[in-house]
């Protein structure tokens, strides 16, 4: 019978020790990976908490305050000039919600015209900014780095002065005896002074002039990332410049077009100063209606209903647009690649 050498370890015992060593090692590795994941997640949550907290404090909370005021009854002589929504009477909580201000917005043609005018001014001004800003952005993107820097400074140079001062300068240009009228008379286009001040075209010019950089800058950023060798390849394949623009440049610049259009359209729809200074007496806009109801009539619930309705008028179509785009982009992302696999 063979005797085991005491100086040599038992193979079975060694196998058990190796198994437990591997288990403990994997356990500590898993704990370390979990700790790293938690630290990374904590960092991500910390980064996300800053903008989410900003939106919570400066968007969601004011929105809820406006919603609360819009459902209250007006009290013109009160401080604040609206009744509370909830009140205790004999130990019973009574809620008083009023939707009459929203019904008033739907039934009063004054507010319908204000919404229509604001949408019209914002839409036409956005299109004007796009038609003027796209060639500017394209030229800036194709320029040399030194020239591009100078052109970008010229684009943002109007921001160094107040929008109110620039709007007052437009009054001096567009009035009857203004610079534009004198230039037209000097060129022989007209025989007597003309002015476009206090008209719809003056409002569109004012909004387009003030918001044009918001269209040019995102378009420039998008076009600078465009691979212009694609245009050279299209020219080598026989495509004319106009066809190459419609098939290559325009589709690839759509993100900049959408971003610039939103940056112009959203603030333009609630613009108050420019239509008030450059528009006519019949150019009632949402911004003017808000100012009148808040400061003159002191009907805060109706003003809050106006503001919330305008917000929904802007946000709901944007959400629908984003939902449609996401739905169309998902099948393209899930489509198999050219060899049968995912790209």
- For residues 178 and 195, the answer to whether their CB atoms sit within 8 Å is yes
Determine the average pLDDT of the residues in 68-72: 91
Pick 90 or 71 by higher pLDDT.
71
* Residue 105 exposed, middle or buried by CB count within 10 Å (0-12, 13-18, 19+): buried
Smallest Cα–Cα separation from 203: which of 124, 131, 132, 265? 124
158: left (phi over 0), alpha (psi -120 to 50) or beta: alpha
Angle between the N-to-C axes of helices 163-174 and 200-224, in degrees from 0 to 180, rounded to the nearest 10: 130
What is the per-residue pLDDT across 143-183, written as a single tens digit (0 to 9) for each?
A: 999 999 999 999 999 888 888 899 999 998 998 888 888 88
Indicate the pTM of the whole model.
0.77
Does residue 81 carry a pLDDT above 90? no
Does residue 342 carry a pLDDT above 50? no
Smallest Cα–Cα separation from 126: which of 295, 262, 282, 322? 262
Q: Hey, is 129 helix, strand or coil?
A: helix
List CB contacts of 125: < 8 A, sequence separation 6 or more: 203, 204, 207, 208, 211, 264, 268
Determine the average pLDDT of the residues in 305-329: 80
- 70 confidence band (pLDDT: 50, 70, 90): very high
| Residue 331 confidence (pLDDT) | 64
| Residue 332 confidence (pLDDT) | 55
Alpha helices in the chain (DSSP H): 11-55, 61-70, 100-107, 109-142, 145-156, 163-174, 179-187, 200-224, 229-236, 241-244, 250-252, 254-269, 273-278, 286-291, 300-334
Smallest Cα–Cα separation from 290: which of 70, 80, 68? 70
Token couple for 109: 């043609």
Determine the average pLDDT of the residues in 226-240: 86
Token couple for 328: 């169309």
* Residue 265 exposed, middle or buried by CB count within 10 Å (0-12, 13-18, 19+): buried
| Residue 38 confidence (pLDDT) | 56
Instruction: Name the residue ranges covered by the structural domains of the chain.
Output: 106-284
| Residue 216 confidence (pLDDT) | 95
What is the per-residue pLDDT across 236-287, written as a single tens digit (0 to 9) for each?
A: 888 888 888 899 999 999 999 999 999 999 999 989 999 999 988 777 899 8
| Residue 1 confidence (pLDDT) | 47
- For residues 309 and 290, the answer to whether their CB atoms sit within 8 Å is no
Determine the average pLDDT of the residues in 26-50: 65
| Residue 343 confidence (pLDDT) | 43
Between CA 279 and CA 264 the distance in angstroms is: 19
Angle between the N-to-C axes of helices 145-156 and 109-142, in degrees from 0 to 180, rounded to the nearest 10: 160
Determine the average pLDDT of the residues in 220-247: 88
Pick 188 or 334 by higher pLDDT.
188
CATH class of the region 106-284: mainly alpha
> Within a 10 A sphere around the Cβ of 253, how many other Cβ atoms?
22
What is the per-residue pLDDT across 207-219, written as a single tens digit (0 to 9) for each?
A: 999 999 999 999 9
């Amino acid at each position: 019978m063979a005797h085991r050498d005491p100086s040599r370890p038992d193979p079975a015992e060694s196998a058990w020790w190796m198994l437990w060593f591997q288990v403990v090692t994997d356990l500590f590795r898993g704990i370390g990976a979990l700790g790293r994941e938690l630290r990374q997640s904590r960092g991500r949550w910390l980064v996300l908490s800053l903008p989410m907290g900003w939106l919570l404090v400066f968007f969601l909370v004011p929105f809820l305050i406006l919603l609360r005021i819009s459902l209250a009854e007006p009290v013109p002589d009160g401080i604040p000039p609206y009744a509370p929504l909830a009140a205790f009477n004999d130990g019973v909580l009574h809620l008083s919600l009023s939707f009459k201000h929203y019904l008033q917005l739907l039934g009063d043609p004054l507010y319908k015209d204000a919404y229509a005018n604001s949408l019209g001014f914002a839409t036409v001004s956005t299109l004007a900014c796009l038609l003027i800003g796209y060639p500017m952005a394209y030229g800036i993107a194709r320029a040399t780095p030194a020239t591009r820097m100078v052109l970008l400074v010229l684009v943002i140079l109007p921001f160094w002065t107040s929008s109110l001062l620039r709007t007052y300068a437009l009054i001096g240009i567009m009035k009857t005896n203004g610079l534009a009228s004198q230039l037209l008379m000097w060129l022989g286009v007209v025989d007597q002074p003309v002015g476009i001040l206090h008209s719809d075209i003056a409002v569109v010019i004012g909004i387009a002039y003030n918001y044009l950089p918001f269209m040019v800058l995102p378009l420039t950023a998008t076009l600078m990332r465009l691979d212009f060798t694609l245009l050279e390849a299209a020219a080598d394949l026989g495509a004319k410049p106009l066809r190459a623009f419609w098939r290559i440049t325009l589709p690839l610049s759509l993100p900049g077009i959408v971003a610039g259009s939103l940056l112009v359209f959203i603030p333009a729809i609630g613009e108050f100063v420019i239509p008030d200074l450059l528009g006519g007496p019949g150019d009632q806009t949402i911004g003017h209606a808000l100012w009148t109801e808040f400061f003159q009539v002191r009907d805060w619930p109706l003003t809050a209903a106006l503001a919330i309705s305008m917000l929904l008028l802007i946000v709901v179509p944007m959400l629908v647009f984003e939902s449609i785009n996401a739905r169309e982009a998902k099948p393209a992302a899930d489509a198999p690649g050219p060899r049968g696999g995912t790209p």
